Chains A and B, each alone.
Chain A
Amino acid sequence: MKIIKKDDLDSFVDELIVNDPREVVGVKERGNKYVFDTLRSSEELRLDYDVTILPPKKYFLPQRETLLKFRSNDKIKAEPENDVIERIILGIHPYDLIAIQQMDRVFSEEPEDPNYLKKQESTVLIGVNMSKASERCFAGSMKTAFTDDGYDLMLTDLGGRYAVEIGTDKGKELLDKSGVTLEDASEDDRKLLEEIKNNLKFETKMNFEPGELPELMKANYGNDKFWEENAENCYSCGTCNLVCPTCYCFDVKDLMEVTLTEGSRIRQWDGCLLEHFAEVAGGENFREERAERYRHRYMRKGLYLHNKFEDIACVGCGRCSSQCVPDIADPAEIFNKLKEGEI
């Protein structure tokens, strides 16, 4: 572990912005919310944020991206397309780093998806431990408040100084190349880091071990009354899918230029809460009822993706809960209710 002074960190960031050919992205304030966006100066960087509106997945799985380009002279030719921008992303909270690791498993399962993987591999991930958790965040309960891997560098605010943990060679190189002044961490610094971690408080909690979720969800698939009651006010707007760092379902469609000589096949975020997600030609919809779609999201978070990748696919960021207008998308609340109702 190393220590870097706040001022040195600022100049390190400014150095990167000016001299590194990669795009430097970080957490900025917008309105009274926070977003990941391109940094123009270290002054914009807010490492003390609570949560961002969208997770950093937008850099690896953009809301809309091109998979193929079509060009026609006399005959149409399709070519693969992957708009990879090399980036350094600063200030990713541990729960989002864990979500990225989950996504990595999804997109590296055979057949590998180069559109995601190449973007991910071309990125330097610099994490920051939370200095405060958002009101709806329950990462503490999901064991995602801290992480030992998934980052190239990890920062923790020790008050005027930052602890720097080096996760990979990529991270080490970035520091070495910059020539930034680092001190070795003392025993007291390590203690302080532990103390800061231990003092992190969460207002929202899930009242049991996440490892119990798969069994709980399996037992409650057929609890129709529960799902119907809780989904009653759902607008099927899909916001809970869109803001989630572990949701990755997508739609694929073609766009054609007006000239009709060029076009592209794109993919864009889709959501299982949206009404037509499981509909086929002929009008049959395999999850026609709101409650079925509502249940599906929780089942995926707690059971389905666990069966496939051994991950609990909710990292407790609380974005869905805070952005759902009728406020019915809080996994902690739903999981707790199911647990309480358990016989």
Chain B
Amino acid sequence: MNESPYLPEDATILKITPMTERETLFEIKLDNYNALGHQPGQFVEVSVPGVGEAPISISSSPTKKGNSFELCVRAVGNVTNVLHGLKEGDKIGIRGPYGTGFPVDELKGKDVLFIAGGLGIAPLRSFINYALDRRDEFADVKILYGCRAPCEILYGDEVGGWKERDDIRYHETVDRCPEGVCWEGNIGVITTLIPGIDIDLENTYAVVCGPPIMYRFVLMELDKKNIPDERIILSLERHMKCGLGKCGHCQINGSKGEYYVCQDGPVFNYADIKGFEEAL
């Protein structure tokens, strides 16, 4: 019998970059010096001994140089708050990578429309950077990114770079902008960006990640644009305790069947989960 699938690998925090009040970027390497070997869209279980584990999306692309990888963590509870208190050089545990990644190969040669809401940029960034590093493998690349306020924009420097590039289109929006804050982008929820986007219906895939509420509205807008369901890719968040398809927490259902998000997802093709009442 294999050794325990619950045993994390030792890893070290190489670098900590605070991004906003609530989110911090961690650069991590496995102590065995191996690359994580992930696909864009997969996640790891981050372990802080004595505190617990949390599923966190891998935010860096496998095309990134070196064997380290990045996680963008929002402090919301036990594990994530303790992570925020750690220092460079501190040890954590990593299990994974787990789950299905984005269908990168299927999207090669296609137009890709990335739509990220809030922290949804964290998993999407692994694919965005993959597409930017291998720019010639994809046709048109557009990124829509929405946050609640300018101070919540993640990866500020990188996003600045996306704005400058002429081989992609980048649009950003905030729900609201406090007085006195300089903001050149759009104001309004993310769905307000969609009508203005030119889409080659034959060739476009939309890749969407954001909070649950965002999906409902974004999907309505994409439907208005006539993007077929099977060309919409989503990443879902669920309560997860094992990442191994055993603990039962992440199961989603509908009359059509059921999925375990930790193994069958977190990335799904919208056509596959559309009839699932508990999915969206």
Task: Across the interface, name the chain A residue whose C-beta is closest to B1.
Answer: A114
Given A284-B212, A287-B278, A307-B258 in contact, is the A78-B93 Cβ separation under 8 Å? yes
Provide the bound-state CA to CA distance between A270 and B239, in Å: 13
Given known contacts A106-B246, A114-B3, A76 and B91 CB-to-CB distance under 8 angstroms? yes
Question: Would A82 and B278 be within 8 Å (CB), given that A249-B248, A286-B252 are in contact?
Answer: no
Is B7 touching A80 in the complex (CB atoms < 8 A)?
A: yes
Q: Does B278 contact A112, Cβ atoms closer than 8 Å?
A: no
Of the residues B6, B10, B93, contact of A67 by C-beta under 8 Å: B6
Contact at A114–B7, with CB atoms within 8 Å?
no
Q: Report the separation of the CA atoms of residues A106 and B80 in the bound assembly, to the nearest whole angstrom.
A: 30
Number of A-B contacts (CB under 8 A): 127
Interface pair A118/B1, CB less than 8 Å apart? yes
Q: Is the CB of A250 within 8 A of B51?
A: no
Partner of A117, one of B1, B244, B247, B251: B1
Contact B249 A67 (CB under 8 A): no
CB distance from B16 to the nearest CB of A (A): 19
| Separation of A290 and B7 alpha carbons in the complex (Å) | 35
Out of A70, A80, A118, A218, name the residue touching B255 (CB < 8 Å).
A218
Any A CB within 8 A of the CB of B195: no
Task: Compute how far the CA of A268 lies from the CA of B201 in the bound complex, rounded to whole angstroms.
Answer: 49
Complex contact A286–B278 (CB within 8 A): yes
Q: Decide yes or no whether A277 CB sits under 8 A from chain B.
A: yes
**Secondary structure class of chain B's binding surface, majority of residues:** loop
Q: Is A254 an interface residue (CB 8 A)?
A: yes
Contact with B along A62-104 (1 / 0, CB 8 A): 0000011010100110111010000000000000000000000
> A128 to B76, alpha carbons, bound, how many Å?
51
Instruction: Given A75-B91, A222-B255, verify A254-B1 contact (CB < 8 Å).
Output: no
Q: Are A286 and B50 in contact (CB under 8 A)?
A: no
Instruction: Enumerate A172-194 residues with CB–CB distance to B below 8 Å.
Output: none
Contact, CB under 8 Å: B4 / A115: yes
Q: Closest A-chain residue to B255, C-beta based?
A: A221
Contacts A/B (CB < 8 Å), 16 sampled: A68-B6, A72-B49, A78-B8, A78-B10, A78-B49, A109-B246, A113-B244, A114-B3, A221-B255, A249-B248, A252-B6, A254-B48, A255-B50, A256-B51, A265-B52, A286-B238
**Extra pairs beyond A82-B4, A112-B5, A265-B6 (4, CB < 8 Å):** A68-B4, A80-B7, A114-B4, A254-B52
